[in-house]
Amino acid sequence: MTETGEKFDRINAIPAYQLVADAIEREILARRIRPGEPIGTEAQLVKQFGVNRSTVREGIRLLEQSGLIHRDSGRRLTASLPHYSRLATRMSRAMLLHEVTFRELWEATTALEIATVEQAAEHATADVIAELQANVASTEQASADPAAVAELDTQFHSLIAKASQNRVLQLAREPSSLLIFPTTEIILRKLKEGVPRLIQAHRKIVDAVSRHDKEASRLWMLRHANDWRRGFERAGKDVDQPIDRVYMKEVMTR
Amino acid sequence: MTETGEKFDRINAIPAYQLVADAIEREILARRIRPGEPIGTEAQLVKQFGVNRSTVREGIRLLEQSGLIHRDSGRRLTASLPHYSRLATRMSRAMLLHEVTFRELWEATTALEIATVEQAAEHATADVIAELQANVASTEQASADPAAVAELDTQFHSLIAKASQNRVLQLAREPSSLLIFPTTEIILRKLKEGVPRLIQAHRKIVDAVSRHDKEASRLWMLRHANDWRRGFERAGKDVDQPIDRVYMKEVMTR
DNA sequence: ACCAATTTGTCCGTATGTATG
DNA sequence: TCATACATACGGACAAATTGG
């Protein structure tokens, strides 16, 4: 394979479409093109890069997927901030393909939710607290409908993340939460006592957060997480099995 | 714009290249194409989808970027597991573009590293512990060279994540660690006492993990994190400023 | 180690639908 | 309303690289 007296490195010809994508990406990351600004039309890019139209288009597809560019009202290509949800969805899919277990998900999610609620207790504003209270009220109203409660539970934890005012935590918690919260519905459907316990935990958490009580926030989030895992086990699921893809339809569809 | 007596919904024509990408993605996510299996040649896809080759190629670019498909040694397209590092890099870039602050990064990273080291204390095997000990020994050897120490520090925390045997934590911690660990070098360069303190913390953490002592692991990781933040402040940086893109070159280059 | 078939990378030209001014 | 610009999609072509005898 490799000759003894090699003098030259292997030439790795990078495809032109990749170079096009790299060039545009560099401009955006270096902030020479700001989010919201137009990239230019395909014809302009063809002229600037000196490659064919098809090549430019392939390059654009690469960036489109990563969320760095975005076609505005159908037409113009503009630079954009990659949105969290998009990235989170990809991460979730990767986790599914890697067949992670519920235990792994639970451990990570618990740690992240606790860290998040502690920050929420520190930084929550009146606005967000009002939203949280509204959420808890809605959950009480919907307590007979497991699907609605599960949906509101997901929203509750997103609001806590919003209250934390920490975008890194928001970003880090989203992929696992996307995977784990759908199981809430299954748990609630099987366990009668699930809904009242969930509502109590949520109410206590909102109380603690609104009092800026970090310790109580942490404690109730921990209890909430433990309930959740116990619910999973009592629903007859094995925490060491890969999470069931059957229940994850919502993650698979874009 | 909208007429009063509308009978039909707006037709949103999804581009053909997008449909091609979606179709292939569905097959992979549904496990009808397993990771490692070939997708087929472009010509075959042209025949199956009944679209032009350029269209197929654009669709392929979308999947290529998301990591679901991969060009093997030659040119063949095969399905693949999206690798963590690839996704983590994208997340890191998103954080940079969103101009997150060091404080946000520090809070999230601290929470994640502590959760990770606790799991490591529970699940670490002899193999990984040996790797950790080797890492600490190397760090002691290299203690005069801040760049080398920073590099080994990053590796140390990756090994802790490996020891945790929790892939979700591994995935969740990587984006923020990619951003925060490069600052280590800057801190170490400015603060003489940084290196010995880092080495001591690492040694204590390895000790605690190898004794499966969760409490001690947590404690020393927390101290390590606090050192780090104090170092950042003493190096004259403001924790509430967006992280400096100047120091993040390594994240920007693929 | 050579050769033929296949496959990818790139290019050209063209047609069509549609958003914008 | 209409003209223009632009993105989408198609068909065909050729050179270089890879594959599999």
Task: Please report, for the domain that includes residue B23, its CATH number.
Answer: 1.10.10.10
Tell me the pLDDT tens digit for each residue of A103-123. 999 999 999 999 999 999 999
CA distances from A50 to A57, A97, B29, B115, B251 (A): 13, 39, 37, 51, 28
Tens of pLDDT along A134-153? 999 999 898 888 888 888 99
Does the CB of A32 have a partner CB in chain B at under 8 Å? no
- Give the predicted TM-score (pTM) of the model: 0.84
Query: What is the distance between the alpha carbons of residues A27 and A74, in angstroms, rounded to a whole number?
Result: 23
Reported as a pLDDT band with limits 50, 70 and 90, residue A177 is: confident
Going by C-beta distance under 8 Å and a sequence separation of 6 or more, which residues neighbour residue A106?
A: A180, A225, A228, A229, A232, A239
Q: CA–CA separation, B150 vs B155, rounded Å?
A: 9
What's residue B159's pLDDT? 94
Pair (B248, B132) in one structural domain: yes
Q: Which of B54, B111, B254 sits opposite A111 (nearest CB)?
A: B111
Distances (CA, A) of B109 to A88, A169, B225, B252: 18, 9, 9, 20
Instruction: Flag whether B183 is in a domain.
Output: yes
Q: Is the dihedral of CA B20, A76, B251, A23 positive or negative?
A: positive
Q: Which residue has the higher pLDDT, A103 or B183?
A: A103
Q: Is the CB of A51 under 7 A from strand C?
A: yes
- On whether residue A4 sits in a domain, the answer given is no
Residues ≥6 apart with Cβ < 8 Å to B200: none
Lowest mean pLDDT among A16-30, A129-143, A239-253, B184-198: A239-253
The CATH number of residue A236's host domain is 1.20.120.530
Range(s) of the domain holding residue B242? 85-252
Q: Does residue A222 lie within any of the structural domains?
A: yes
Q: Is B4 within a domain? A: no
Give the dihedral of Cα atoms A146, A150, A155, A159; nearest 10 deg: 100
Domain boundary residue, one of B79, B104, B121: B79
- Is the model's pLDDT at A98 over the cut of 90? no
- Residue A13: pLDDT band (50, 70, 90) is low
Residue A192 and residue A66 share a domain: no
Chain A residue numbers touching B62 (CB-CB < 8 A) = 61-62, 64-65
Select from A33, A48, A79 the last residue of a domain: A79
CB-based burial, A114-124: b 16+ in 10 Å, e otherwise? bbbbbbbbbeb
Q: How confident is the model at residue A253 (pLDDT cuts 50, 70, 90)?
A: low
Task: Tell if A41 CB is < 7 Å from nucleic strand D.
Answer: yes
Residues B225 and B197 in one domain: yes
Task: Let me know if residue A1 belongs to a domain.
Answer: no
Q: Are residues A50 and A149 in the same domain?
A: no
Residues A95 and A216 in one domain: yes
B105 and B64 both lie in a single domain:
no
Query: In which band, very low, low, confident or very high, does the pLDDT at B131 lie, cut at 50, 70 and 90?
Result: very high
Is the shortest CB-to-strand distance from B15 to strand D under 7 Å? yes
Q: Assess whether A126 and A209 both reside in one domain.
A: yes
Q: How many domains, chain B? A: 2
Degrees, nearest 5: CA angle B135-B140-B145: 105
Distance CA A174, CA A158 (A): 8
Q: What's the pLDDT at B246?
A: 52
Q: Residues A214, A114: one domain?
A: yes
Q: Which of B26, B59, B79 is the last residue of a domain?
A: B79
The answer, for A242 touching chain B at a CB cutoff of 8 Å, is no
- Please report the pLDDT score of residue A125 as a whole number: 92
Q: Are residues B146 and B61 in the same domain?
A: no
